[in-house]
Structure 1
């Protein structure tokens, strides 16, 4: 007869003096009430085995263990002639989860969030988790400014002990910030202070940026920005006394009030250095950006501390501690600073660890390191190493950390973590012209073949204008000391009859060459090349006289020995997301004696990046080109400079600027001037996404040279517009929309241009 029940057992656990289980030896164990759960699963959690003695303590432990699994909502233990009966009632399983009314979020993402909270189809239903998930779901809507959201949850029993869960979401309208009041400002206008903040009232783009939606995190960041604004202007006693955030009864309008105390503006009275200086005091003082008489600025103080710390780090003191202690004189409104310097112990690098490079070989990254294992730690060498790895352009992110070695006071490790990107590309260029229609081009390239860092480019271009078949190979470390080696083999066919803007002629060039590059320092390198090529010419029926004169002098087939020499300087802070620095390039091409053509061309380009704010970068680009012949010969007309298109003056068709013939076709010229002013900034609402960048530009340029018969169509041309660069999952995409400013009726325009690449 079954004599023991759960109620009695619980009572026994709570009041052992009132009831006691008569212990017995378990001869067998049977499980009753299970539907989905396997009996073996119950046995695995049950802390009682056949042959054990069951008493009050072991029975309580058994019930507790089975409850802890979460599989059951009721557990009973019964005894029948030495047989232990485990009677359970299973919790229902979740058969389906439906979400109705959700528009702000994708339903799949909401379900993924519910799954992380423990609520998912096929899992055991737990009402406490349901309530938790409901609150988490509501919190997600509150973070989007939907304070009037209502979530109704229903559970429907189904057959075979299952339930269906339905979330009915009434999102309501998004609450907007209607007013931000700053109280206590005397020295600055409220508008100037509001411009410092991200949160704002509804405006032209706030529907996209969401900056008119309140967020506790955004407000905290804005308060810190407000504090920095005042501290950078000398207001050391600035304080935010309180903030009030209120919402109307209909949950639609939010009002924010910020109460501040500006205090007095302080100037710097004195700068002192104390502690273990190690370096000459004069050298350290040059690193301090604050000087007596200056209005205090926290950003200059922070920069000074960083410069001193980095300078000590260059000598191996990786854990140097620099503290600037202020001494305020409220009566004089002055502040003096003492920089206490504790260099700590000098440390060296034990090991350099590289992670994240599944495809790129370790050696490709290690050879860019300027910090070596076993050497004294150097901040500048670490930074230079990171920059060089970044410039490889094989990665979307490069992070460097320098943790201390456990149980060692004079050693650190360098952890280099990279995030690889696709370095192979099938590139497709396209543009649309009202006179030419769609223009296509393409190439196949691999910048990091087999992870070796070597570059291979196979171009097969079958466009109407250019047909190119070429193979290029470059080894950036042809020798171990960084000399670059490479070669090119090519066949280029140019058919200008398809270009209404260029004088008619055809060229068929076959050739090849070798290249060597020598690094001069961390930022400068030179490249020299020598080649041999054969060019066959075919003139159209309306070719200008200069083309005819060239064929009469040299014939329709020429041999050229082109020699090239270039110098490049790269001083950018990053190749992934450039905000400061410059790049310069000088390129010289000359046809050497021994060939039919003797000429030279020189091209110079300068790009300068200057950070205007943390988000906006000014980019200036200038290009100058000049060419001529020597030894009594002229510059071959097919070596002329051209301008116009998405790489020079946007808004005008490719190669459409400069001297024209009587048929309004471009001749090209021996002088080229191109420039642009561009403001780079992130996509609104995506300032932390480095895959998308917008720009507003002003382009200008032209080509000069002899032979033009339409002087009224020559001269500089200008355009303005906007452009976007997106490193999309499908490859890099560049789009520009330009409006010519001073175009003439005879100009060939191309307002919309784009370039797209499929990466692999």
Structure 2
């Protein structure tokens, strides 16, 4: 059956309804003895009896007949309704609309069919529902809207209605998607201070590059264009152009429906300099404290970001004293003759409030207590803006949610009370880490790790690492309870078994290490944590072919099997803006290990420092420094298997992993008791990826080295160095870094590895 035939039948139904109404009115009023219904197939009779305004025993007249017909047509279940009178019996004859049996799509490549079916359900068209031509029209428009949102303006939708048995129909939407419309031109008109190319570089939308297939930056999106316009406005407002405005925006789709031209008309206005800042209103008698929050400096260009930061800082500071509804307004007083502006900060603290209730929404998997224990703002306490912000940040730092936001609602009828609602959006908290490296000598080496940071929504983490290579076999299990005590002391348990062999031939010597440890973390501040713990470890040197001289000497002196009881203490401070893709902030950690009992007596210490400096919107400078030191205690030397090694990812890229360090008389790398690593990177969005920071490239320089024995410092003449480029990608399985490195300072015998990659690491 074609759509035209359905249109004809719809017209016929309307005519039939009018005729039925006419016949219904052409009767004299009478008392209804019985009501019969004819023509029902799937609709329950009760649906009709409930809908009509006539009951057995009522007096039937023209008005009730008309109302009954309108009510039944209004159900949307019937395409024809007639009322007939047989003596004092009322006969309602209906013809049901066909039911949609199946909805199918042909030619849809851009969308999954389930996505389109959900979109059609939202407009009332789905399997099992009555078929309505008006809904079919809405469905076609909805499908076209979905494609327009993906810049597929040339998409065409043709609907086929196929009647089948039992008054049902199948609907088939045939879609010709066409090619997506792409931005062919972006013009900014009216600019004189900044060049058009400079302003276009601020945009996420562009006219395309060789990587546009991934970024889709040349596909038009209204929301993205609005965001770019806001970026443009912010660029001017932060440089003194107080009266900058966007006059109009034209988006033109060319007749071929494949190209889009965008024109943005702007008026820059004059550049204004701040002449002064004054405070007016009620500042709780703490004017000096509030003045210290002002970042706007007289003599500098007007900066809208500084104004917004200042007003927010003042508002938040009011919140620290319980004034949740404080209003702070920055009122500019413009002198156009001198192009100067005086800013007046008007404050009204309103009334003090306390928090009645805290609600958590969106944690479908994570237990409520896991979120609430991070809160520093408590119920029935005075509203404190600092504690609320800290609470939000602590929940965000858990890493369990993609979005974390707090809303403040006033309690109706209680002007001094507020409710807080924490809205979270959960994300998968499992991660996979993979590591690989390739060298001509050893071929490809692989490692695998699996970690669940929020196991069963408890906030505890479980992890396992497995390496099945013939050279380095290992299995490591660890678990962390971040709230082992109610005060936030964490507990970490590690159990491990490792086997290291220099070659794939198992006849060569092996180093077998088994042990376990427990570590506690005590938070001293919101960013500082101190760790302490202890463990037991047993290391066995399995003699075999090519046992290095250093291992043989150690075994002969202290035995082939030695035990150690190391105690550990550490400290970390994390002030980065992100753990996955940091752009600013600093990270530090220090750790000391002291073996107080057993056959092996030693002390080891490490320190790491990272600094991220945003140079502008696109470039970030990153620096990393690591230092390691170890020494034997008393008459014992540092166990040879506790030595530091260098080379590879996390050290000096371009050299094989763990291949840098002193060698013994047999020529085997045995490492040393001192290590230095220095790394510098310059990160920038990948060419063609716009300002997308999930895919970036970087250039780097690495310098590092390992010293020989106790008391010998690292010699600068022995340091290795490399330089290269790499790619950083926040992939679905974790951050991936691929490095292409070339040694710029190397020595004879060094093992070179020019291509290295790893998932789940930073430097």
TM-score, scaled relative to structure 1: 0.87
Q: Deviations 1:281-328 (Å, cap 9, x if unpaired)?
A: 222222122122111111111111111111111111111110011111
CA drift at 1:359:
4.7
1:10 corresponding residue in structure 2: 21
Do 1:641 and 1:703's aligned partners in 2 also have CA atoms closer than 8 Å?
no
Do 2:497 and 2:515's aligned partners in 1 also have CA atoms closer than 8 Å?
yes
Aligned partner of residue 99 in structure 1, secondary structure: strand
Q: Is structure 2 residue 630 aligned with structure 1 residue 624?
A: no
Do 2:548 and 2:668's aligned partners in 1 also have CA atoms closer than 8 Å?
no
Aligned partner of residue 415 in structure 2, secondary structure: coil
Structure 1 window deviating more from structure 2 (515-524 vs 471-480): it is: 471-480
CA distance in 2, matches of 1:173, 1:727: 27
1:537 corresponding residue in structure 2: 541
Aligned partner of residue 73 in structure 1, secondary structure: strand
Q: How does 1:162-173 map to 2 (within 5 A)?
A: 162-173=168-179
1:384 corresponding residue in structure 2: 390
Alignment partner of 1:150 out of 147, 153, 156: 156
CA drift at 1:77:
0.5
1:16 corresponding residue in structure 2: none
Alignment partner of 1:401 out of 393, 407, 418: 407
Alignment partner of 2:252 out of 246, 256, 267: 246
Do 2:365 and 2:457's aligned partners in 1 also have CA atoms closer than 8 Å?
yes
Alignment partner of 1:635 out of 626, 633, 638: 638
Q: Is structure 2 residue 378 aligned with structure 1 residue 366?
A: no
CA drift at 1:331:
0.9
Q: Deviations 1:713-758 (Å, cap 9, x if unpaired)?
A: 9631425343445463xx546453433343678424262434489x
Q: Deviations 1:401-457 (Å, cap 9, x if unpaired)?
A: 222222211111222334445556676655555433444445665545565544555
2:100 corresponding residue in structure 1: 94
CA distance in 2, matches of 1:244, 1:602: 63
Do 1:536 and 1:557's aligned partners in 2 also have CA atoms closer than 8 Å?
yes
CA drift at 1:578:
4.2
Structure 1 window deviating more from structure 2 (435-444 vs 54-63): it is: 435-444
Q: Deviations 1:490-533 (Å, cap 9, x if unpaired)?
A: 44433333499xx9753333444443433222221222223343
Do 2:674 and 2:708's aligned partners in 1 also have CA atoms closer than 8 Å?
no
Q: Deviations 1:24-78 (Å, cap 9, x if unpaired)?
A: 2222222223344343443343333322222222212211111011111211111
Do 2:515 and 2:537's aligned partners in 1 also have CA atoms closer than 8 Å?
yes
Q: Deviations 1:351-386 (Å, cap 9, x if unpaired)?
A: 222344445443333332211222221111112122
Alignment partner of 1:211 out of 213, 217, 222: 217
Do 2:401 and 2:425's aligned partners in 1 also have CA atoms closer than 8 Å?
yes
CA distance in 2, matches of 1:725, 1:494: 31
Aligned partner of residue 409 in structure 2, secondary structure: coil
Aligned partner of residue 51 in structure 1, secondary structure: coil
Q: Is structure 2 residue 263 aligned with structure 1 residue 257?
A: yes
Distance 1:374 1:573, change over 3 A: farther
CA distance in 1, matches of 2:633, 2:432: 40
Distance 1:91 1:636, change over 3 A: same
Distance 1:203 1:557, change over 3 A: closer
TM-score, scaled relative to structure 2: 0.87
Structure 2 unaligned residues grouped into runs of 5+ = 1-15
Q: Is structure 2 residue 705 aligned with structure 1 residue 703?
A: yes
Aligned partner of residue 402 in structure 1, secondary structure: strand
Distance 1:203 1:673, change over 3 A: same
User: For the aligned residues, what is the CA RMSD?
Assistant: 3.6
Q: Deviations 1:82-110 (Å, cap 9, x if unpaired)?
A: 11111122222334444334333334433
2:519 corresponding residue in structure 1: 515
CA distance in 2, matches of 1:138, 1:571: 47
CA drift at 1:159:
4.5
Q: Is structure 2 residue 316 aligned with structure 1 residue 310?
A: yes
Do 1:33 and 1:88's aligned partners in 2 also have CA atoms closer than 8 Å?
yes
CA drift at 1:610:
3.5
Structure 1 unaligned residues grouped into runs of 5+ = 14-18
CA distance in 1, matches of 2:455, 2:204: 44
